A and B are shown apart, each in its own frame.
Chain A
Amino acid sequence: MKMKNNVFLRIVLIVLFALFVAEGVRKGSSAATGGISSLICLACMGFR
């Protein structure tokens, strides 16, 4: 029973994360990720 619950919990979490990704793609966050990460980040480099 415990094992079944664990598998069920894992599947629920995976579905939840998939929904997060789907929502992000729908709202254009994947493109925003690409856009932001393709720019030179002066903070990452420690320049500002």
Chain B
Amino acid sequence: MKKNSLFLFRRIVHVVSLFLLNGHFKTFLTGSLYGGKLKNICIPVLNCHSCPLALTACPVGMIQQFLALGVKNGYSGFLYIFGLIGIPSMFLGRFFCGWICPFGFLQELIFVKKFKLKFPAFLKYLKHILFFGFVLLFPLLFKNNLGIGTPTFCKYICPAGTAEAGFWGLASGVGRFSFVLFGKIIILAAVIFFSLRIRRFFCRICPMGLLLGFFNKVSFLQLRVNDKCDNCGVCKKVCPVDVDMPRDLSSINCIRCGKCVDACPQKALSLSFRAGK
């Protein structure tokens, strides 16, 4: 395999999937959101369904929306979304983060190697707080007068929602500038700032990434190392999310981007569906 062949292929997949997920160009004429059958499904990436270009539903948003309806009313919807995430993830694990996610793609494009910073260790468990707190627990707890919960991650945190839907909402007059939106813009600015200096910054704290990361342990697609490995450390150096390669091959942080596979001078690493080592 030629050097960087996976990288080039991944770039093509990123661009194609960006347009496949956000191909509702009719919105430029109508100004409306897409409302067809594709919105019945979600692809396990962070892509806000309130973006006027979005063709599919956001899994993180839909989990919160169904939980906000309460356990009794929302459980089948929650299971439906969980199933839609689980089936492809059983085959591919966090492949979606590395190859499909538009927000991950954006972060890769804006990263400047010259200003590189180390990811702060104290933020290691922020993704757990975001997922178990803001995505799963708080929408169940914080309810309005009608007894409907709040999608707290979407409302207070999600930088993808701010970038894809918030600014459009402001420009089109759907909503007015508010304190909550101001806070979200600050979060988006911080995420962009740190993404310039830390590779895949948001992917390391992404709640969707955490959920997909658990599937890295059991998915059919696995990173594998053969006995040609001489522990030179190149794979660890090129890893965009600082996985302890080649020891922690099924780490929940691995986004299956294949950079290590491309970089390995011994060609000891592979990303494959084979059942054995």
**Does B180 count as interface, using CB distance less than 8 angstroms?**
yes
From B61, B80, B156, B176, give the contact of A37 (CB < 8 A).
Answer: B61
Binary CB contact string for chain B from 32 to 63 against chain A (1 if under 8 A, 0 otherwise): 01111101111000001110001011100110
**Does A36 count as interface, using CB distance less than 8 angstroms?**
yes
**Does B81 count as interface, using CB distance less than 8 angstroms?**
yes
Specify which of A3, A19, A40, A48 lies most central, judged by the most chain B CB atoms within 10 Å of its CB.
A40
Query: Chain B residues with Cβ under 8 A from A17's Cβ?
Result: 82-83, 86-87, 90
Contact indicator A34/B169 (Cβ below 8 Å): no
Contact indicator B155/A43 (Cβ below 8 Å): yes
Q: How far is the CA of A2 from the CA of B39 in the complex (A)?
A: 40
From A10, A38, A40, A47, give the contact of B178 (CB < 8 A).
Answer: A47
Contact indicator B174/A18 (Cβ below 8 Å): no
Count residues of chain B with CB under 8 A from any CB of chain A: 58
Q: How far is the CA of A34 from the CA of B166 in the complex (A)?
A: 20
Q: How far is the CA of A2 from the CA of B49 in the complex (A)?
A: 41
Contact indicator B275/A3 (Cβ below 8 Å): yes
Query: Chain A residues with Cβ under 8 A from B101's Cβ?
Result: none
Binds A, one of B157-165, B202-210, B262-270: B157-165
With contact pairs A7-B275, A32-B77, A33-B40 given, residues A21 and B181 touching in the complex (Cβ less than 8 Å): no
From B42, B50, B82, give the contact of A41 (CB < 8 A).
Answer: B50
With contact pairs A7-B275, A40-B169 given, residues A33 and B220 touching in the complex (Cβ less than 8 Å): no
Contact indicator B180/A48 (Cβ below 8 Å): yes
Count residues of chain A with CB under 8 A from any CB of chain B: 37
B residues apposed to A, CB below 8 Å: 33-37, 39-42, 48-50, 54, 56-58, 61-62, 65-66, 76-77, 79-84, 86-87, 90, 150-151, 154-156, 158, 161-162, 165-166, 168-170, 174-176, 178, 180-181, 183-185, 218-220, 275-276
A residues apposed to B, CB below 8 Å: 3, 6-7, 9-10, 13-14, 16-25, 27, 29-34, 36-48
- A-B residue pairs in contact (CB < 8 Å), sample of 23: A3-B276, A10-B90, A10-B218, A13-B218, A14-B86, A14-B90, A17-B83, A19-B83, A24-B80, A27-B80, A31-B40, A36-B65, A42-B169, A42-B174, A44-B161, A44-B165, A45-B161, A45-B169, A45-B170, A46-B175, A46-B184, A48-B155, A48-B180
